[in-house]
Amino acid sequence: MKTVLQRVKKASVTVENKIIGSINTGLLIFVGISNNDSEKEINCFYDKILNLRIFPDETGKFDKSILDIKGEILIVSQFTLYADCGRGRRPSFTDAAPPSIAEEIYKKFVEKFKTSNLKIEEGQFQAMMEVSLVNDGPVTIIV
């Protein structure tokens, strides 16, 4: 599993010209599922992401977590995090889990985050999505 976290002032995801998820201050999480992933990784990522201190305190230092600021989270599936560009000019996605497996793990990932009591929004699995965001910092972290 790979995630890319973007600290945002706001973010939204649109499918077929309809906004299906939007947040204000918080995290936009892009998540990719690999062939080797299972539910085991979910708890580790959940704990790491919720407690990662990447929000500023009163002095501007990274000292607060998404839980501390009671931020919002938008989760978007993104198999392209497993793009292999090592050979040729077209990326290979052989390390990405097949959709049937990835969708099940993605849904469980989202459900786990919904237990956090934070506002959780999500994209639509396997849809062509437009993601808009205002990155705060900018801060982008790969987990």
Active site residue 124: no
Contacts from 57-64 at CB under 8 Å and sequence distance 24+? none
Of the candidates 30, 78, 109, 113, the residue annotated as catalytic is: 78
Contact 140, 6 (CB under 8 A): yes
Contact 25, 41 (CB under 8 A): no
Active site residue 80: yes
CA dist 32 and 98 (Å) reads 11
Active site residue 79: yes
Q: Which two tokens stand for residue 45?
A: 């990522």
Of the candidates 30, 79, 109, 113, the residue annotated as catalytic is: 79
Active centre residues (catalytic) = 78-80
